[in-house]
Amino acid sequence: MEMTDILPAEGWAKLEQDIYERYGVSAHAHTAAGAPFTGRELWGNRLCPRLRQNKSAGTSICAVVNQAVRTESRQESKTVITDCDAGFMLIAVPVIVEGEFIGMLGGCGGLCDGAEPESFLLEKTAGFSEDLVTELCSDMRQYTAEEAQEIARYIEDRVAEVVRNYEAGRK
């Protein structure tokens, strides 16, 4: 079963847009294999799109944390709230249908509870100077742990609604 079996890619894209507009995070839906599939890129800050343009940085930071949270959310069947190696908040909600993990919906890209960007790591992986990191993160949104939990609950509720609608349509 795939994410698009329970909701078309356009529906997942609308959920990404809603999360982005509501909370200002870079919202994303991924397949069980970890691939984004909506074709949409919504950035909650100015640093992450620059980071993603650098293939080695995107691989060593974004891909690593996405694989880790995918594994954890799949094994534990629960939402994961963590930080990536660059220091940015990441929330991943598993999409589980009839006991099968089929993907994730989540958001990332802010700083949580006073965290700061990992300038040294960004310099080493992406070649960004500390001044560039400071400039690109100067307007990055700060979230409290409570706000991260609120975002996670909202995404959980939306995922539950999608799964309920899918299951009701199968009866």
DSSP per residue, the chain: --HHHHS-HHHHHHHHHHHHHHH-SEEEEEETTS-B-S-----SSSHHHHHHHSHHHIIIIIIHHHHHHHHHHHHHTS-EEEE-TTS-EEEEEEEEETTEEEEEEEEE-SEETT----HHHHHHHH---HHHHHHHHTTPPEE-HHHHHHHHHHHHHHHHHHHHHHHHHH-
Its pTM stands at 0.93
Mean of the pLDDT values across residues 34-42?
91
Assign 171 a pLDDT band (cuts: 50, 70, 90): low
The reported pLDDT for the residue numbered 141 is 94
* Per-residue pLDDT tens digits for 111-169: 999 899 999 999 998 899 999 999 999 999 999 999 999 999 999 999 999 999 999 88
Q: Which domains does the chain have, with CATH numbers?
A: 3-170 (3.30.450.20)
The reported pLDDT for the residue numbered 162 is 98
Chain mean pLDDT for the chain: 93
The reported pLDDT for the residue numbered 40 is 86
Residue 107 above 90 pLDDT?
Answer: yes
Q: Above pLDDT 70, what percent of the chain?
A: 99
